[in-house]
Structure 1
Amino acid sequence: MKNPFRITTLRPDDPFCDRERELETLVRHGLNGASVTLFSPRRYGKTSLILRAQSRIAGQGGYIIYADLYRVMSVEDLAGRLAKAVYEGLNRHEPLLEKGKRMVMRFFQTYRPTFTPTPDGGVQLDVRPVAGLSGYDLLENLLAEVGRFSEECGRPVHIALDEFQDIVAIDKGRTEALLRGQMQTHRAAYLFAGSRRRILRAMFADDGRPFYNSSFSMELPPLPHDALTAYVRDRFADAGRRISEQSAARVSELVEQYPYYAQMLGYFLFDGPPSPDLEDVGRAFNLMLDNERYAYQGIIDGLTSVQQALLIGLAREPGAKPTSKAFLSANGLTAGGVQKAVNLLRNQDYVAETDKGLILVDPVFREWLLRFF
């Protein structure tokens, strides 16, 4: 029996755990032409939710465009990714090799689509910019074309920009201002999503920034415990297997309702005994920790000794005040370096301020730190 738990982005037709309220809100805003900023930690099901919402918008006649801006490197890179996303979205609606070509020729001139046959008999779509234009001109022209398309196409247009906060690394605000200057005139609904929440929030909450107060805000909470417990049981049942409510609830508790880890723990658990008990859940959790160790070691290796000590200290003492004498002494830190380390770890979304104080965002990473340090 195929494992029913997926550790990659969920497809729109895959079983989904809860998020119905968030899904309905995103679809409603999208069809109404209203923009949304979506915050969540890494691997929290954000992209799966976006694709599911866009699938529903498309089902109601809308055009959908999805662009992943993770680690975007330059304004030329940004313009090229947006252009490819536009053409891929239009191609899904009406193939560009057929009737859709007329629509492209009418609205879009800055980039041209190219098609390359693939070994499996399909066609790979790419884009090529017109000659003689700089990166900023390419981006500005493309956005103007998107604006005209959204104005004249006669349908809702929904554009999702995933990991949107990464545009801040391109320059000192020129790209941000250019995007806002164009997008505010569009009839499209934009979904600005990101997992580096502090940076993304600042883009929309700082009154000195171009995107200040320009969208609705939505932050994904942990999955509801009862819904996640039922989801785990349902996936086992769909595959003709049984898991007790107690064992399924333990899955939810161990990962603290974190969507990615719930799928991964379920994956390892499903590959074990046919009717897993609590001990089996614990063994599967250990397998998951072992599987993730390379990613966690990569995080640690990329930090300074002060940042490492701060993370380990917060893993041992969630909610601690890092500048307190007791915390500094217990972790071999000094007040001078801690605040800088806190700011960097916040910007990377490794730690976050909550009503319980400063904590690690990733509960499984926290457990790994406790076990190995």
Structure 2
Amino acid sequence: MKSPFEFGKVIESNSFIDRTDEIEHLKVNFQSGINTILISPRRWGKSSLVQKAGKIIESENPKIKVCKIDLFGITSQKVFAERLIRSVLMKSSSKFEEWLNIGKQFLQNIIPVFSIGVDPNSDFTIKFDWQSAEKNIEDILNLPENIGKKKDIKFVICIDEFQNIGNYPDSIAFQEQLRSVWQTHQNTSYCLYGSKRHLITDLFKNQSMPFYRFGDIIFLKKIDKKHWMHFIPASFKETGKEIDAGLTEEIVDLMQNHPHYIQLLAHHVWLNTGRKVTRVIVDSSMKEIMDYYDMVYSREIEGFSNHQISYLKAIAAKEEHLSSKETILKYGINTPGNLTRTKQALEKKDILDFFDKTPQFVDPAFELWFKQKFPA
């Protein structure tokens, strides 16, 4: 029997929970040609949300083409450009011959080389000489806009892990180039998001950065608890199993309304349940997850300084006045100056998030593990 709970991938099935307001917001932006920046901590479902909204808008309006590009592992402008061309061409037409014709018409200064295998959707690649392409980069960046004008269609270019452009050579110059071209587009809009909230936020809210005020910034919130309280019992019931409201709430609370980890824990509970969920099953399922991640988390904190561990202990203990003399002395955090460096280091390591300036663990399972290993 298939588990009703999904995690660790883009969710497209019935496991996609709520987000009706956010979907409507994205749909309006996509239809209106408004650039969108989606911000939240990692694994809150940004990619699934964009995928869902994109599919709905394409089904409702065939003249809107939603392209998705993932910058994970892409470390250069050259590969970025190749992925952009490939995604736009494949959305512009289903015919390889038309891809070639469009390439010849709009990329004639670059002379790209196209290759195709048995399955065009997976075996279609584009290569070109970067020295030549770099001199004509605006031809590449204007490709969706030019195709859109010619075919009377609109493109929405959705770019995941967009913060990775900050690691490219001459990153600021490249960002300035992107901004200067993209802000002129009328038939193309952009939806930019990524898993490093603090880096994405800096790209778009820092006045010194090229993408400052580039578009509509949406801060994704946690899914309301009431939706999980309905979804989890209903999913158990549909598969011939049962869980009561109290244990459902315990799963949600343990994982702090975090979509990925709620589905993870619910999946383990479901696997371990024959007919009806008991507290013993929830506890043993939680222990399975802690045991599984023990080595991963242990390796993750190997390089942490004593000050960083002490600061995390204070966060885990829900200390409210982290910079007070009492807290600093109690946990051996040292000085306020050191505290600032510690916060920055833990945010950079993606351990803590300072949403609304309140420090929170990015990973609720890590927080539970940390409390076990390092009691205050």
TM above 0.5, one fold? yes
Look up the match of 2:206. Answer: 206
Q: Report if the CA contact (8 A) 1:79-1:138 is conserved.
A: no
The aligned amino acid for 1:341 is: T
Counterpart of 1:76 in structure 2 is 78
Change (3 A) 1:232 1:4: same
Structure 1 residues 143 and 356 mapped into 2: Cα distance closer, same or farther (>3 Å)?
closer
- What letter matches 2:236 in structure 1? F
Who is 2:125 aligned against? Answer: 127
Q: Map Cα deviations across residues 206-235 of structure 1 (whole Å, 9 max, x no partner).
A: 222221112111111111111011111122
The residue that corresponds to 1:174 in the other structure is 173
TM-score, normalization: structure 2? 0.88
- The amino acid of 1:143's aligned partner reads L
Greater shift after overlay, 173-182 or 122-131? 122-131
Partner of 2:311: 310
Give the aligned partner of residue 364 of structure 2. 363
Tell me which residue corresponds to 1:65: 67
User: CA 1:327–1:63 in 2, change beyond 3 Å: closer, same or farther?
Assistant: same
CA change 1:188–1:276 in 2 (3 A) is same
Counterpart of 2:293 in structure 1 is 292
Q: Is the 8 A contact 1:30 1:156 kept in 2?
A: no
Give per-residue Cα distances to partners, 1:17-55, cap 9 Å, x unaligned: 111100111111111111111011111111111111111
- The 3 A distance-change label for structure 1 pair 185 and 101 is same
Q: How does 1:124-273 map to 2 (within 5 A)?
A: 124-131=122-129, 133=131, 136-137=134-135, 139-170=137-168, 171-186=170-185, 187-273=187-273
In structure 2, the CA distance between the partners of 1:125 and 1:137, relative to structure 1 (3 Å rule), is: farther
Is this contact kept in 2: 1:320–1:357, CA < 8 A?
no
Does the Cα contact within 8 Å between 1:160 and 1:192 map onto a contact in 2?
A: yes
CA separation of 1:221 and 1:318: change in aligned 2, threshold 3 A: farther
TM-score (norm 1): 0.88
Q: Which amino acid aligns with 1:4?
A: P
Deviation at residue 138 of structure 1 after TM alignment: 6.2
Which residue in the other structure is 1:41 paired with? 41
Relative to 1, partners in 2 of residues 1:309 and 1:54: Cα closer, same or farther, differing over 3 Å?
A: same
Distance in 2 between residues matched to 1:20 and 1:334, nearest whole Å: 46
Identical pairs, percent: 23
CA distance in 2, matches of 1:358, 1:243: 33
How far off its partner does 1:106 sit? 4.0
CA deviation string 1:39-96 (max 9, x = no partner): 1111111111111111112212121111111243222232233233334444xxx423
Report the Cα distance in structure 2 between the residues aligned to 1:301 and 1:84, rounded to whole angstroms. Answer: 41
Are 1:88 and 1:125, in contact at CA under 8 Å, matched by a contact in 2? no
Q: What is the alpha-carbon distance in structure 1 between the residues aligned to residue 53 and residue 263 of structure 2? A: 20
Q: CA deviation at 1:178?
A: 1.0
- Identify the range of structure 1 (265-274 vs 134-143) with the bigger mean alpha-carbon deviation: 134-143
Is the 1:319–1:356 Cα contact (8 Å) retained in structure 2?
A: no
Give me the whole-angstrom Cα distance separating, in 2, the residues matched to 1:206 and 1:181: 17
279-288 or 78-87: which moved more?
Answer: 78-87
Contact 1:9 1:45 survives alignment (8 Å): no
Letter in 2 for 1:142: I
Deviation, 1:199, is: 2.0
Give the match's secondary structure for 1:247: helix
> Secondary structure, in 3 states, of the residue corresponding to 2:122?
strand
Gaps of 5+ in 2: none
Unaligned runs of 5+ in 1: none
Distance 2:257 2:204 in 1: 28
Counterparts in 2 of 1:21 and 1:280: CA distance versus 1, 3 Å: same
Asked if residue 280 in structure 1 is aligned to residue 278 in structure 2, the reply is no
CA displacement at 1:197 relative to structure 2: 1.8
Q: Structure 1 76/310 Cα, relative in aligned 2: closer, same or farther at 3 Å?
A: farther
Distance 1:122 1:30, change over 3 A: closer
3-state DSSP of counterpart to 1:66: strand
Q: Quick check: 243-252 or 18-27, which moved more?
A: 243-252
Residue identity in the other structure for 1:84: R
How many residues get paired? Answer: 366
In 1, Cα distance between equivalents of 2:290 and 2:132:
47
Is the deviation greater in 344-353 or in 199-208?
344-353
Contact 1:318 1:358 (8 Å CA) reproduced: no
Separation in 1, partners of 2:5, 2:104: 43
Matched position secondary structure for 1:124 = helix
Partner secondary structure for residue 131 of structure 2: coil
Q: CA deviation at 1:348?
A: 4.2
Contact 1:180 1:211 survives alignment (8 Å): yes
* 1-structure distance, mates of 2:113, 2:33: 27
Q: CA deviation at 1:122?
A: 7.8
Q: 1:365, CA displacement in angstroms?
A: 1.3
Displacement after TM superposition at 1:264 (Å): 0.4
Question: Structure 1 CA distance, aligned partners of 2:157 and 2:67?
Answer: 5
> Helix, strand or coil: the match of 1:15?
coil
Secondary structure at the counterpart of residue 18 of structure 2: coil
Greater shift after overlay, 71-80 or 100-109?
100-109
What is the identity, as a one-letter code, of the residue corresponding to 2:72? Y
